Homo-oligomer: A and B are copies of this chain.
Amino acid sequence: MRNLIIASTSTIHGSGYLEYIKEDVLTALKEVGATSLLFIPFARPGGITHEEYTKKVQVALEGAGIKVVGLHEMQDPKQAILEAKAIFTGGGNTFVLLHELYKRDVLTALRKAIFSGTFYLGTSAGSNLCGLTVNNTNDMPIVHPPSLKALGVIGYNINPHYLDPVSGSTHMGETRETRINEFHTYHHIPVVGLREGSYIRVLGDKELLKGELTARVFKKDNKPVEVSPDFDFATLN
């Protein structure tokens, strides 16, 4: 039974790292009886080291009785993934994250763990990873992974940190909506634009929108639609 929190961002404006989502995460960790959390630090936000990033997560969960261990420390990363009760993939650069996961050949193990009921938390790049592909990341392609195919533990793609067009902007770069429409020139995969503060709570067959905001759903040859909290994205499959 799948058990995931797929979040747009780790941090909302004016709040600490993971703060807005901490209670929900701790509840989920308790429910699966996890006393440790396997952290995947490979996305390296701002280029920080795996050690620094792992420590940041440990600090954010201080006092909760959860030991955070980094996947980079594991001698057998596949085994570590398959044995973990809970896994968290942090945000940063999606290309770097995927490149490292392909290099270590752990995507299949990660997918297997998630479908076996291991609790998975993803934020930003870690949420991109849950989709069929990472074709809808906002990140700069600073490295070139062998493929953009991702975990496919949900039947659509995620665009995290979704941004509405800025009214009155004089900037000529593409809006997020234009970019996603261009994607649909080539692909049929639905895309969920998840605004900061929103997350998808996957539990068994349900994939419910959580948080206070609506999310924007893009399907090829359809006008985008806004869906409200508690909308079930499983209906997109």
A contact residues vs B (CB 8 Å cutoff): 9-14, 44-47, 92-93, 95-96, 134-144, 147-148, 161, 163, 170-174, 178-187, 196
A180 cross-chain contacts in B, Cβ below 8 A: 140
A183 contacts B12, C-beta separation under 8 Å? no
Contact partner of A44 among B93, B136, B172, B182, CB < 8 A?
Answer: B182
**CA A92 to CA B185, docked complex, whole Å:** 13
A95 cross-chain contacts in B, Cβ below 8 A: 141
A138 contacts B173, C-beta separation under 8 Å? yes
If over half of A's interface residues share one DSSP class (helix, strand or loop), that class is named, otherwise mixed; here it is loop
Shortest beta-carbon distance, A60 to chain B, in Å? Answer: 15
**CA A159 to CA B92, docked complex, whole Å:** 19
**CA A93 to CA B134, docked complex, whole Å:** 16
Contact of A171 with B161 at beta-carbon distance under 8 Å, contacts A135-B142, A136-B140, A140-B135 already known: yes
Shortest beta-carbon distance, A73 to chain B, in Å? Answer: 20
**CA A139 to CA B93, docked complex, whole Å:** 14
**CA A12 to CA B136, docked complex, whole Å:** 26
